[in-house]
Amino acid sequence: MLENDIVLERFLASRGAAITDEEVAMLDRLLDLTDSDLWDLIAGRAEADDATLAPMVRALRAS
pLDDT at 16: 80
pLDDT along the chain (63 residues), means of 10: 94 91 95 96 95 95 92
pLDDT at 63: 86
To the question of pTM greater than 0.85 for the whole model, the response is: yes
pLDDT at 27: 95
SS3 string of 3-38? HHHHHHHHHHHHHHHHCCHHHHHHHHHHHCCCHHHH
pLDDT at 31: 96
Q: Where are the domains of the chain?
A: 2-62
pLDDT at 10: 95
